[in-house]
Copies of this chain bind each other. A is one copy, B any other.
Amino acid sequence: MRNNESSEDYLETILMLSEVKPVVRSVDIANELGYKKSSVSVAMKNLRERGNITVTDEGYIYLTESGKKIAESVYERHKTISEWLIGLGVPGNIALEDACRVEHDLSEESFEAIKKYIAEH
């Protein structure tokens, strides 16, 4: 029915992991998301075929330009939404969980409007 929520989550996770680890492998993603390695393996194959990631011979995963663009967009939403919810008094763990879902749901228009509003208040 909906969008590429699953793919967006994988790309976002690759970006987040790459900020704290020297290299990102399938097994790192599996641990981070709580999925089985086999699920991640299939998902990486799809992302590779769609040109959103490259995988080296050693199994190191890198975002392509298109993948990075998606990942950064989702990650920005994640941070903006979770910080905003926390600012409204929502407990951190709940705010983060909610942000993980809502980040995929908003149109560009709505997200920009929210961002602008937050910046002004």
Using CB atoms and an 8 Å cutoff, list the residues of chain A in contact with chain B.
1-2, 6, 85, 88-91, 94-95, 97-98, 101-102, 105-107, 109-110, 113-114, 116-117
Contact = CB atoms under 8 A, between A and B. Distances in A.
Consensus secondary structure, chain A interface: helix
Task: Give the number of copies in the complex.
Answer: 2
Contacts of A110: 85, 88, 90, 94-95, 98
Contact of A109 (B6, B91, B101, B117): B91
B105 A85 contact: no
B88 A113 contact: yes
A1 B101 CA distance: 11
A106 B102 contact: yes
B113 A90 contact: yes
A46 to B, nearest CB: 16
Contact of A107 (B88, B98, B107): B98
Given A95-B110, A110-B94, A117 B88 contact: yes
